[in-house]
Amino acid sequence: MIQRIQTLFLFAATVLSGLMMTGDLLLLNNNTGTIFSLAFTGLGESDGDPVQRLWPLTIIIAVVPLLTLAAVFLYKNRSLQMRVTMIALMLSLGTVLLGAYYVYMFDRKIDVTIMWKVKSIFPLVSAILAWLAYRGILKDEILVKSYDRLR
């Protein structure tokens, strides 16, 4: 149902979450001039040498666009669509928290300064879009139940 606003929110969340799989999410600069990047594949030097693979973050970043895209096509089963959307919302927030945890732990090992990129806010925007889609799905569900009550 492409005409529903929640479908547009879910598509936007899918695109933003999918864009997180490309490029760097943020850059970390230490005092010696070495620049590290936090990306989909993990934490590494900016020239591509991996320092540490961050599998939990990689898995979450890969699952969120799949869930939001699947939620678009679950329009016939609104209760399942609401659950899948809520899981995508929680995983988007989990991406923010897990990324902050990894940056904090790396900062404790090596003193770094964070150079923010636009992609670092994509998980938060994706979570907001998933919440807006959830609200739209909930409104549809309430409307359908009210019509069932009138029969």
Mean pLDDT of 21-41: 86
Number of domains forming the structure of the chain:
1
CATH code, domain carrying 103: 1.20.140.150
**Does residue 72 surpass a pLDDT of 60?**
yes
**Domain of 25?**
5-150
Does the pTM surpass 0.75? The reply is yes
pLDDT of 64 > 90? The answer is yes
Q: Specify the DSSP class assigned to residue 117.
A: -
Ramachandran quadrant class, 115 (left: phi over 0; alpha: psi -120 to 50; beta: rest): beta
